[in-house]
Every structure is written in C-alpha cells, then in structure tokens.
Amino acid sequence: MPSLVDLDPPGLRDELSAAGFPPSHATHILRRFYARQGTLDTWPEQIGPRIARWLREQEPAPATKLHTRHESADGTVKLLLSLNDGKSIETVLMPAHRPGRAAGCVSSQVGCAMGCTFCASTRNGLDRNLRPGEIVEQFLHLQREAAAMDRRLTSLVFMGMGEPMHNLDNVIAAIHRIADPAMGGLGWRQITVSTVGIVPGIDALADADLNVHLALSLHAADDETRSRIVPVNNRYPVADVMAAARRFADRTHRIPTIEYCLLAGVNDSPLHARRLAELMAGFRAHVNLIPYNTIAGADYRAPEERATMQFLQCLRDANIIVHVRETRGDPINAACGQLRNLNSLELHAPVLVPSPGIPGEG
Ligand code: SAH
C-alpha cells in the first residue's frame, strides 16, 4: 500500500475495502493522520485496534528523513531532508510575528532549471521533480517543528527550491492532501504558489480551482532588465506574465503578490520603480520587495537602505500596496534564494552543526 501521504480519501477507501475493512473510515483516518502531524500513534476507539495495527504495518518508511536541523537567532528553522534516492532538499519554518503562528516554505523540485542569476537554488540545475508524498512530508516536518515551538503552522508557501509550475501535477496533488477540507491540514487560502512566471502554469493553476494564492516573481517591469536576471523572460515576457497574473486574479478573486528582489544597480533605481508603478496601474495586487540575500558566487549587492525606501515610496505614491520583506534566516542560508540542493549530504556536514532533532525523528 502507498503511504498515507500518497493517498486521498477515495484511494484509501479502495485500500481499506481490499483489505476487508469498512471503507467509510477513510476520511476519518486521513483527517486524524494530518491532525497528528502524520503520526500513527494514537487512534480513536471507533476506528478499532485491528485497522490501526494494519495501518501501522502497511505504512512504508517515510520518503524524507531529517538529516540536519539548523536554527537561526531569529527563530527560523531550516531542515535539510534526505530523500530515499540520496538527494536532499531544504524546507524552512519561520515563526510569525503573531504569537502562536508560523509560516512554512517548501520545495517543489530538487534543484531548479530556471537559471535566475541571483538565486542559489538553480546553481546545479534541475535534478528531479518531487513526488507528492515528498512535498506532503515537508509539510508534516514543518507542522512538527511548529508544534515543538508551541506554534501552529498557519501558512505554507511554495517558495523553496524549484519551480512549482514545472511540477504542477505533483504540487496540486500535494496541495489536495494538505488543504483538502476532508483531511483538514490547512485551508486553501493559507497556501501560496510562487512562480517565476510560467504562463501556461499560471492558467493551469487557475483552472485547478484550488483557491490558493499566487505569487509572481517579477523582479523587473521591463523586458530588457528582466531578461538579464530571469532568463525565462525570453519565453514569457513581462506583458504576458502580467496578463496571466491578471487572469488568475479575475478568475480566482485572489489578490496576487508580485515579488521583486532588489539588486543594487540592476533593478533598484527610481526609473525601475516608476516602470513597476506604471505596470501595476489598475491591477489589484500586492508588491513584496525583497532586498537581495547574498549567495555565494554571485556578483550582486543588496540595495542601500535609502534606495529601498525610495523605491517603496515611489510605489506608495502611486497607491500601490507594497511591503518590504524582512530577511529571515540569513545566518543559516535559509532566506529567499539561498536554498540549494547539495550533491552530497556529506558536503553539508562541516557547515551545518546538527542540533537535537525533533522527538521521534532519526
Ligand atoms: N521558482 C519559484 C519559487 C521560488 S520562490 C519562483 O521563482 O517564484 C523564491 C523567491 O525568492 C522568488 O521570488 C525568488 O526570485 C526570490 N529570490 C531568489 N533568490 C533570491 C536572493 N538571492 N535574494 C532574495 N530573493 C531571492
């Protein structure tokens, strides 16, 4: 039998029937499984000890194992997870300002093929897509981490490694497990899918009717600048991705987020800000400015504080809702764009100091 993270209610119903158990328990079992952060420890009486034992016997070993856990002073926790084929991915938990809450950031691929010049995740190219279960397990790791700090995971963003639109079927399958009301992990609206701007993917996500949020990594409002830092702009230029974001907003009634990584001397001038303001005119979306987080081997600099403030003010003057994203997790390379896959886990060992894992984790 597949792992519970790979089953939806109909799938589990089939498995239960085949094993001679009442299929009607399926939804209840899955809801319970997610409510208990993916553990099979305690089961309510009505499910019965026989099913519980059977489930425990059937459940295969997890698809992800906690390899290293790193915590930065601001409370951000980065988990390096090893996959069954020896690859590794990173997933990040950020405590929210509101007490009792935390936000999670998951990867959708091992590596990334997009080649954005300022992002570490793309350095070794794309290795492979993550399977739905590998994405769901990241969510469960984050839930457990959140619980360990007395917080609840209340939002999940696909802003880790990879381009979610290039693995959209598996991302959607994972979102169904994480946010399907029948299973009750998170709500649809607590999930954000971030894309570099793959137009057919944005439309497909709208078609999927999931009610999730969209974030678009724009980074420049003109094609010349954008093509220089986001190579996929040659395929899907600014006008096309913005049109897709507008279609998404019209169809889903969700307000998209436009992400803009500020790179000193590249896209942070007042002229760039004015171009962005013009592009955003009449479009109900939020702009998120992300001052560049340093990555090894790239020749960029974070903008001066003054440039960031000027950029912000220019957009505010044009009545655009805009925020500057606070950098989290920088000392442990867990900030935006710093996540990367490592060909060998050993490579990582001297850099990251293992700290006590979560109870129950190996
Ligand atoms: N491929 C998707 C998901 C990754 S999200 C996408 O492009 O949206 C990661 C976000 O962090 C993106 O907005 C990305 O452009 C941004 N980012 C990448 N490298 C960064 C860096 N060095 N500093 C700040 N933000 C960065």
Q: Is the CB of 5 under 6 A from ligand 1?
A: no
Q: Which atom of ligand 1 is nearest to the CA of 157?
A: 5
Q: Is the CB of 341 under 6 A from ligand 1?
A: no
Residue 354's pLDDT band (boundaries 50, 70, 90)?
Answer: very low
| Inter-residue contact 29 to 12 (CB < 8 Å) | yes
Q: Which of 15, 90, 145, 163 is catalytic?
A: 90
Does the annotation mark 326 as catalytic?
no
Does the annotation mark 261 as catalytic?
no
| Whole-model pTM over 0.75 | yes
Residues, the chain, total? 362
**Ligand 1 centre distance from Cα of residue 159 (Å):** 7
Q: Is the CB of 195 under 6 A from ligand 1?
A: yes
User: For 297, how many CA atoms within 13 A lie in the half-sphere containing its CB?
Assistant: 10
**Which secondary-structure segment (H or E) carries 90?**
strand 88-95
| Inter-residue contact 124 to 75 (CB < 8 Å) | no
**Ligand 1 centre distance from Cα of residue 311 (Å):** 19
**Most confident option among 42-56, 109-123, 330-344:** 109-123
Q: Which atom of ligand 1 is nearest to the CA of 337?
A: 19
pLDDT value, residue 97: 87
**Mutation probe of ligand 1 site: the residue of 198, 217, 338 with most atoms within 8 A of C-beta:** 217
**Ligand 1 centre distance from Cα of residue 50 (Å):** 47
Does the pLDDT value for residue 48 go beyond 50?
yes
Distances 34 to 149, 285, 308 between C-alpha atoms, Å: 18, 32, 41
Cα angle 326-331-333, degrees, rounded to a multiple of 5: 85
Residue 180's pLDDT band (boundaries 50, 70, 90)?
Answer: confident
Q: Which atom of ligand 1 is nearest to the CA of 219?
A: 15
pLDDT value, residue 45: 65
**Mutation probe of ligand 1 site: the residue of 91, 105, 159, 301 with most atoms within 8 A of C-beta:** 159
In the numeric block, which tokens belong to residue 346?
Answer: 């050993």
| CA pair distance 245, 259, nearest whole angstrom | 12
Does the pLDDT value for residue 358 go beyond 60?
no
Does the pLDDT value for residue 222 go beyond 60?
yes
Does the pLDDT value for residue 342 go beyond 70?
no
Q: Is the CB of 217 under 6 A from ligand 1?
A: yes
pLDDT value, residue 349: 31
- Phi then psi for residue 239, to 5 deg, are -60, -40
In the numeric block, which tokens belong to residue 43?
Answer: 């089961």
In the numeric block, which tokens belong to residue 51?
Answer: 């099913």
**Residue pLDDT, tens place only, 274-317:** 999 999 999 999 999 999 999 888 899 999 999 999 999 999 99
